[in-house]
Amino acid sequence: MKIRRTEVVPRRFRPLQNNAGGVFYADFSWHLPPEKWREITMGVFEELKARGLIAQITDEEKVKDLLDNQKTSFYIGFDPTADSLHVGHFVQIMVMAHMQRAGHTPIALFGGGTGMVGDPSGKSDMRRMLTEEEIDHNIACFKKQMSTLIDFSEGKAIMANNGDWLLNLNYIQFIRDIGVHFTVNRMLAAECYKQRMEKGLSFFELNYMIMQSYDFLELNHRYNCQLELGGDDQWSNIIGGVELIRRKEGKEAYGMTFTLLTTSEGKKMGKTEKGAVWLDPEKTTPFEFYQYWRNIGDADVIKCLKILTFLPLSEINELAKLEGGELNKAKEILAFEVTKLIHGEEEALKAQDGARALFGAGTNTENMPSSDITASDFIDGEIGVLDLLAKIKLIPSKGEGRRLIEQGGVAIDDVKVESATTKLAIRDFDKKYVIIKKGKKIHHKVNLI
């Protein structure tokens, strides 16, 4: 006998098969501890809140009802300012994934139009203007990367490009229909423009808020999109879209921002000596990516586990009880889980093996970042350490290399390099490689082939 239900089955009920092939539902809540029970029955809004992702909401009660009791489409915008997504984008993608798992439809909006202007939010200088060819190339890269993290199969999610409606607008008609709903005084008071006001905000950039607001209106028309999400630095732009829909259409629309990825000191995460932490393995290798998360501060590891992984909150709360050196276990879990999401389990395992070798828990250096040199790189059987560091691109200049060595920041096979004039002989490569350590976190294998 098959029990048929017209209403949504509560999350605590799990479908079971009996021997006759029928389906019945059993309530397993009676034996669960309170914390686990709350986690199982938690709606997506409460989960995002419990993970510390939500920053600001236009109407918390209505957004909570929309996300927990209805199905809706929502959008997040991605301006193609580079040819790879980075760690900051990853937070947005994790929110999209949580929402998609809850049955909502993500719209990934790529800025083929807004990318021609550049978002002034949080910038003291105007962004470099990109060509149409650069923008198209960057969007293609974004689409490829995002497709490994979000299910874009039929009906599951939507990719859109605001260039489809922004690039061919009649400017006079656009300003008459849309610009009339924005006051310059209010726009200039918005947080997204404050930093630009010091050096001068161009009229070109002032259009950005109007364009982003129009995106929300257009997506509302095309896909009945009711909710715009974005980082907390997008709050003013999101409010603009919510109000534009209300004024133009007389309809309710909502906005929600999520926490920016910052350290406990308030500094933006995702930056290294080499620049941004990219999701593209050609720009940031899986090993470097893993190492970044393995080496984050003690105060940030639990926050990152909540924001950047799908680990159950009950498991994360257990890890939060660790102290001192035991926190390395939590850091290793974080590094593995995040690397697995971005680069796959195989690359995550390789990165883990390489990292453990560096921390003395193994001897496998195979998966460590490496460079090759040949005997022709040696002069009279020797190569200067500065020349070697420059060749494998561990230093931007020999001057920087000298300063690093003088500060005790370079070691070769665990022996500190004392002088910038130090040279390595071919015989130092008797095992066919050496390990160079730069600072506390960068390890590099140099192979003699």
Active-site positions read: 81, 86, 89, 123, 127, 212, 233, 268, 271-272
Residue 310's contacts (CB-CB under 8 Å, 6 or more residues apart) are 97, 337, 341
* Residue 233, Cβ density class (10 Å: 0-12 exposed, 13-18 middle, ≥19 buried): middle
What's the one-letter identity of residue 130? L
Residue with tokens 């997008």: 234
Q: Residue 230: phi, psi to the nearest 5?
A: 180, 170
